[in-house]
Amino acid sequence: MKVAAILILRGMTSLAWAADAYVIRHARVVTVSGPVIEGGSVVIQDGRIAAVGKSVPAPRGARILDARGLSVYPGFLDADTRVGLTEIGSVSATNDTNELGDYNPHLLAYTAVHPASEHIPVARVNGITTVLARPLGGVMAGQATLINLDGWTVHEMAVRKTAGLVLNFPSILGGRQLDPATSTSRQIKYSEAKRNYEKGIRELRSLLEDGRRYLHAQQARAKDPGLPALEANEKLEALIPFLRGEEPVLVSVSRKVDIQNALEFAETEKLKIILLGAGEASKVADLLREKNVPVICGPVQSLPPQEDDPYDIAMATPALLAKAGVRFAISSNGAANVRNLPYEAGTAAAYGLPKEEALKAITLYPAQILGVADRLGSIEAGKIANLVVTDGDPLEIRTNVKHVFVAGKPVSLETKHTRLYQTYLNRP
Amino acid sequence: MLRKTWVLFSFAVATAFGAESVLIKNATLLTVSQGTIPDGSILIENGKIAAVGKDLAAPADARVIDATGQYVLPGIIDCHSHIAVEGGVNEGSLAVSAMVGIDDALNPTDINIYRELAGGVTTANILHGSSNPIGGRNAVIKLRWGKSAREMLFEGARPGIKFALGENPKRSNFTTPPGSQRRYPATRMGVEEVIRQALTEARQYLLDWEAYKAKQKTGKNPLIPPKKDLKLETLAEILKGERLVHSHGYRADEILMLLRVAKEFGFRIATFQHVLEGYKVAREIAEAGTGASTFSDWWAYKVEAYDATPYNAALMARKGVVVSINSDSAEEARHLNQEAAKTMKYGGLSETEALKLVTLNPAKQLQIDHRVGSIDVGKDADLVLYNAHPLSVYAVPQKVLIDGQVYFDREEDRQRQRALEAEKRKLMEAEKSRPTGLPSQERPTKP
Amino acid sequence: MKGERSVQGWKTGNQNLQLFVLPFFQSSHLPFFQLFGGLLFVLACGTVRADGPVIFALTNARVVTVSGPVLEKGTVLLRDGLIEAVGADVSVPADAWVIDAAGLTIYPGLIDALTDLGLPSQQQPAQEGSQPAGLHPPAAPSTARRQEKPGMTPYLRAADLLVDPGRKAEDARNAGITTVLTAPNHRGIFLGQSAIINLGEGDESHRVVRSPVALHIRLSPMAGSLEFPRSLMGVLAYVKQSVYDSRHYAEAWAVYKKNPRGAKRPETDRSLEALEPAVRSEMPVVLSASSAVEIQRAMDLADAFHLTYILAGGQEAYKLAPVLKRKQIPILVSLNFPEKERDSHPEEEEPLRVLRWRAETPKNPARLAEEGVPFAFYSDGINNAKHFVRNAARAVRAGLSKEAALRAMTLGAAEILGVDSQLGSIEPGKIANLVLTTGDLFDEKTKIRYVFVDGRRYEPVDVEQGKPAEGAGPEAGGV
């Protein structure tokens, strides 16, 4: 163990240190945004990256981490998860992802994040330092939140309290419908699916128009206070930044024709959208590039959406998107196993994505897509000091994460799992 | 003429070699049983591994596969799978469904067979679902894509049966359909009771037959024999030690329960499946000579999976349990080599120990290790050729052989995909030019 | 109405009651036929039935005997419901009513080798993807006693359940179908025993040609079942256990009957009793099986128990043709060819598997014929009887010879169903079931002029004459 400053890594999760300054020395610094710096240093101060370089001066009182033989990466960002919103899948009491009702643009995932969730340290110890946590239910599920995976409160964790409105875009394909009485499913006929779809689109358009009228009246009253008072409406109020195109709508969609419909819808409604999942994105890659719509794809380790698809289509999708010039990121789309995000990227690399691109797909690209590249996604001075120190290629399973910094602080690598391991390893 | 046409339609994936000799050369051989052989060769004759080593001479007519830069691993064995089953993997109507068997419902045309093959899986233990304390009979298959159900069965594999403990058989996480009653059992107590009751019945069944046969020998009058009962016949085979029990279970307490029951009834549990709390009672599992087949890192999807840790496999292995890593999923099965790699990270297993988790160990658990699981002379030539070390995330299977025949080839897959798309377009065009039939309320939509 | 004498006067039946009824009572074949019933039939049916003495001489016809060579100009003599003579120089007896059939072709009456025609109605929406027959059948006809086990009604006999088939039988007959194998088709596994019935009018006891014919078993899960068996493997286990139970039942009773004194009496069970003939291989079982996998599965099951069996569905039988030929397993081939679901998204791509299924199914009969697998056609829920012949013609276009297609609807079917001494060809002594057409049966323009069932003449009336028939087109689909 060459790490001199190992003492700082025990039991100091989020402890407030008097002088929050650290220097990682002698490391291979993979900045992602720039060239790799062999034997470089990263200076961390007040939660931010203060300096990066071959030889940078250490601030007085800074703790030194000798990372000889180790590599430093920007912390990984998983742009589609349910971390903090769910604990045990089958226990509804622990799940806060699905609210009742179809249209809930005003609900905030931020509100329901459980900072003490066991999933947080589990994800973190494998280098995932930031996640987008999002709700699932209904058509407009609510607003996602972007959080760092360390903090006493969600307020401390939040990078962006709200990071997009989740829209489960209606499918025109219908799919199968389960009859609970007989536990058998039936294929929904196209005519019926089309009716449902058109109804869904009408409702959506009508809601968006309500929002626009609301905004219009609000603006008018701002100019002329003499106008009658506007009755406050939480739902419509919540829609405003999305109607203005200031904030992204995160459109969850998977089939090719549904992606096409969603793109058309977004264009007519002038929404700024990001696709989530989008299993068949590679089949409409040219359209996505043309419309400049980014995709948060994943999980990469998925079965093909269609029986006749190439067996490796999901693994090859990031490579296909990259080749077509589509902006993309890779996500785990998980909760309990967000820790496997690097292997999702690694798998994409195995099936054709250049390794550097695979790394970017879980660092800089999701930061760019989510509009936080000024703070996250690479090792650059001024960015939030979310860093991972490893003994090798982090996309490789056998590689070990040695240190993790979240918002400039080293975090404990202890989890529920390591505790159980230690306990039962010692069982006589 | 017509016949020839339709033969062409079916995918001829498996390439049969007329010569029946194959030489794989210049590869890194991960034998699993005897370490790594760099620049090694494998000679295959009649589907079996005939020789392993360096500079092997091959018959003149042998097909030579130059695997320079590639790694050869024994075919991956998935000890827990539900692919290729038609009409439901659960007979959930009864608490004991030992009368049913997966072999009756195998569907050799399930595309997941091909997909898993492309992930390096050559043998899979197809299990009944976990809705019953005692489920149905399993079927061990080789993924001989293109062959019939019967031809996929692993010849001579020991028969087995699925048991299940905990939340699934007590139906904790399932809603009861309207109009039906909740099925007994609803507690872990009840699960034990159902198993004991069934085994007791089976014991009585054996006694009844013995008594009948004895009486028949001495008596003059013909006797009415006991009723042949498929459920009890199957259970009796467990008691006689002829049928392997693969029991789904999570919590330490239920694992110990079943070990107690098995001991009392005089048989051994072959494997615990999932066994996510196995690390808590690894000593007891090892002492019972029972295997453990677990997930690499799945957890928290239900209460009994909340104490799961990715260290489970390594911890159990350290304590002397024969451990395998399984998929229980058509997707997960495609990267079991990567799942095995996780045990190096979580618990520090060696490369060979990790590789054994998806090759030799599941073979031992299924008692087919005399045939498969390692690269050894005399074993079946079930092999995977990777472009990188299979414990690397970047490894992609290039060729997969079963019984010495290439069943998957990544290059040929590209051609297969093109042919498929061309045929599809042709058929769609042909159909468009043919007037469609009449509207109907009854029309078969199979297959 | 070429060359016909004196039927004109009583074409509408009720106006000429006197004329109509009398010959009926004189017929020794219909002793129980009630005057009133006969009247009702005439009023209820759209067919204009020409009744009279049941001695007919059909002369100057092209006769497709099926069993022998085609007679380009021959006579078929019918008497008392049977074919008395057939040949080029049959002398017409004085008492025969002569129909000059010049320009017409006589075929044996067509046989629909599996249907539920004549059994209690079961109109239910289609059950997708699970029922090989494409039908979602209702519950079994209620019987006075409790039903012993789910899906277990092997004791039901189609012959005992017959109801007035009404329009359906008439439509089938108008399409040339004179005989059907009808089998219980409700929700279940051991469905019951089939009967062969002729589609003439009259009391059901006269329509039954043979009963019971076969035990019908559906090898797929009962939709929505909450009881055992719910899965396919459950169904297989259920069938196997039932065979064991039936064997045991027979043995137990045999032992008991030999020496009842001092022995406990076995229970009675009408289901197990009803299974006995099939289990002893004295009665064939008809097993549903469509895909190659299902066919193999059904064969494995039946072979394991040494059952005599027939497969129904058979859409992918061609894939197993060599083994089916070797074992001479008869196939009832569905003529309800699969069609594309029209109510689907235009861009929704179907798997190649489904496209192939649709493309290959009509070619299946040709392949079976080429290989020498015995097969017969059945309607399988076709909702327009005319499509029976029309879809057979589609199989002909896909390579099946016309002779083989005809055979699969006549003598071939009769052989499979064990009634080839009575039906299926135009030979002396056989039941006088005939179809007289204006031309080649498989020609789209051909009309059916007369149908004879049990020697009685029926004259199809095209109620939509002048209008193109529904679905008329070169490739009218199965349903």
Residues sharing a CB contact under 8 Å with residue C131, sequence separation 6 or more, in sequence order: B444, C137, C218, C220, C223
C321 touches chain B (CB under 8 A): yes
Please state the pTM of the whole predicted model. Answer: 0.91
Is A397 in contact with B338 (Cβ distance < 8 A)? yes
Q: Is the pLDDT of residue C253 over 90?
A: yes
Q: Is the pLDDT of residue A49 over 90?
A: yes
Q: Which residues of B touch A417 (CB under 8 A)?
A: 299, 309-311, 346
pLDDT in tens, B40-62: 999 999 999 999 999 898 899 99
Higher pLDDT, B80 or B432: B80
Q: Is the pLDDT of residue C47 over 70?
A: no
Tell me the average pLDDT of chain C.
84
Q: Which residues of B touch A395 (CB under 8 A)?
A: 393
pLDDT in tens, B185-242: 999 999 999 999 999 999 999 999 999 999 998 877 788 999 999 999 999 999 999 9
Q: Tell which of B86, B151, B171, B446 to mutate to test the C interface (max C CBs under 10 Å).
A: B446
CA C186 – CA C355 distance, rounded (Å): 30
Higher pLDDT, A10 or B374: B374
Interchain CB contacts (distance < 8 Å): A and B: 118
Q: Which of A126-135, C14-23, C28-37 has the highest mean pLDDT?
A: A126-135
Answer whether A236's CB lies under 8 Å from A257's CB.
no
Q: Residue B209 carries which side chain, given as an amino acid letter?
A: W
Answer whether B413's CB lies under 8 Å from B393's CB.
no
Q: Is the pLDDT of residue C224 over 90?
A: no
Is A172 in contact with C349 (Cβ distance < 8 A)? no
Across the interface, which of C226, C341, C345 has its CB nearest the CB of A257?
C345
Q: Tell which of A85, A87, A90, A414 to mutate to test the B interface (max B CBs under 10 Å).
A: A90
Nearest-Cα distance to chain B for C291, in Å, is 7
pLDDT in tens, A330-358: 999 999 999 999 999 999 999 999 999 99
Q: How many helices (H) and strands (E) does chain B have?
A: 12, 17
Q: Tell which of C136, C231, C343, C354 to mutate to test the A interface (max A CBs under 10 Å).
A: C343
| pLDDT tier, C474 (very low <50, low <70, confident <90, very high otherwise) | very low
The interface residues of chain C toward chain B in range 165-194, judged by CB-CB distance below 8 A, are: none
Answer whether B17's CB lies under 8 Å from B359's CB.
no
Q: Is the pLDDT of residue B442 over 90?
A: no
Q: Is the pLDDT of residue C45 over 70?
A: no
Nearest-Cα distance to chain B for A303, in Å, is 6
Residues sharing a CB contact under 8 Å with residue C103, sequence separation 6 or more, in sequence order: C2, C438
Residues sharing a CB contact under 8 Å with residue B360, sequence separation 6 or more, in sequence order: B32, B33, B74, B369, B373, B374
Reported as half-sphere exposure (CB side, CA atoms, 13 A), residue B174 has a value of 19
Q: Which residues of A touch C131 (CB under 8 A)?
A: none
Q: How many CB atoms lie within 10 A of CB A193?
A: 22
Structure tokens, C91 = 């002398």
**How far, CA to CA in Å, does C253 sit from each of B213, B224, B282, B375, C263?**
19, 8, 54, 58, 11
Is C232 in contact with B431 (Cβ distance < 8 A)? no
A332 touches chain B (CB under 8 A): no
pLDDT in tens, C277-322: 999 999 999 999 999 999 999 999 999 999 999 999 999 999 999 9
Q: What is the pLDDT of residue C348?
A: 80
Phi then psi dihedrals of residue C278, to 5 deg: -70, -40
Q: How many CB atoms lie within 10 A of CB C271?
A: 19
pLDDT in tens, C254-288: 999 998 998 889 999 999 999 999 999 999 999 99
Q: Searching chain A, which residue's CA lies closest to the CA of residue B349?
A: A398
pLDDT in tens, C62-85: 999 999 999 999 999 999 999 999
Nearest-Cα distance to chain C for A198, in Å, is 14
The interface residues of chain B toward chain A in range 225-284, judged by CB-CB distance below 8 A, are: 279-280, 282-283
Task: Assign B314 to helix, strand or coil.
Answer: helix
A139 touches chain B (CB under 8 A): no
In the predicted model, what is the mean pLDDT of residues B259-269? Answer: 98
Nearest-Cα distance to chain A for B342, in Å, is 6
| pLDDT tier, B172 (very low <50, low <70, confident <90, very high otherwise) | confident
Q: Which residues of A touch B335 (CB under 8 A)?
A: 301, 347
List of domains in chain A: 1-74+377-428 (2.30.40.10), 76-173+231-376 (3.20.20.140)
Q: What is the pLDDT of residue C476?
A: 35
CATH 3.50.50.60 fits C111-420, yes or no: no
Q: Which residues of C touch A190 (CB under 8 A)?
A: 343-345, 348
B310 touches chain A (CB under 8 A): yes
Structure tokens, C286 = 């008809």
Helix (H) or strand (E) holding C393: helix C386-397
Q: Which residues of C touch A174 (CB under 8 A)?
A: 345
Q: What is the pLDDT of residue A183?
A: 61
Q: Is the pLDDT of residue A114 over 70?
A: yes
Q: How many CB atoms lie within 10 A of CB B215?
A: 11
Nearest-Cα distance to chain A for B259, in Å, is 19
pLDDT in tens, A52-90: 999 899 898 999 999 999 999 999 999 999 999 999 999
Burial B347-380 (b: 16+ CB within 10 A, else e): bebebbbbbbbbbbbbbbbbbbbebbbbbbeebb
Q: What is the dihedral of CA B412, B380, C294, C192, to 10 degrees?
A: 180
Is A88 in contact with B114 (Cβ distance < 8 A)? no
In the predicted model, what is the mean pLDDT of residues A279-300? Answer: 97
Across the interface, which of B177, B388, B424 has its CB nearest the CB of A180?
B177
Check residue A131 and report its DSSP letter. Answer: E
Is A310 in contact with B300 (Cβ distance < 8 A)? no
Across the interface, which of B177, B300, B331 has its CB nearest the CB of A183?
B177
pLDDT in tens, C96-145: 999 999 999 999 999 999 999 999 865 333 333 333 333 344 555 555 45
Across the interface, which of C233, C342, C479 has its CB nearest the CB of B87?
C233
List of domains in chain B: 1-74+374-413 (2.30.40.10), 76-372 (3.20.20.140)
